[in-house]
Amino acid sequence: MEYEFQRFSLPRTITRSAVRRLLVDHAEYGGWELARLRLYPDGSRKVELRRRIIRVRATLASDFLPMI
């Protein structure tokens, strides 16, 4: 499986409930899941989200049409 990642930093001034709301919104509406959250001693956070990349393979319509 292949994933795409989104990484961002959050300052210590953002409350825990605001961070939770932000992550829930990304999960529900963007299809992201939490890959890693690092909480530093100064209160700042680094967040890493990921979501699966779905590759669509092209098919030729002529493969499915009967030969005449």
pTM of the predicted model as reported, rounded to 2 decimal places: 0.75
Kindly report each contact of residues 35-43 with a partner whose C-beta sits within 8 Å and lies 24 or more positions away, as own/partner.
35/3, 35/5, 42/12, 43/12
How many domains does one find in the chain?
1
| C-alpha span between 9 and 13 (Å, rounded) | 12
Q: Which residue has the higher pLDDT, 55 or 32?
A: 32
Tokens 């953002």 locate to: 14
61 in a structural domain: no
Domain of residue 22: give its range: 3-54
65 in a structural domain: no
68 in a structural domain: no
66 in a structural domain: no
62 in a structural domain: no
pLDDT at 44 (0 to 100): 96
Q: Is the Cβ–Cβ distance between 14 and 23 less than 8 Å?
A: no
**Tokens read off for 22:** 């932000």
- Across residues 38-50, what is the average pLDDT? 96
pLDDT at 5 (0 to 100): 96
Beta bridge partners of residue 47, listed in sequence order? 8, 37
67 in a structural domain: no
Asked whether residue 17 carries a pLDDT value surpassing 70, the answer given is: yes
Asked whether residue 50 carries a pLDDT value surpassing 90, the answer given is: yes
50 in a structural domain: yes
pLDDT at 63 (0 to 100): 59
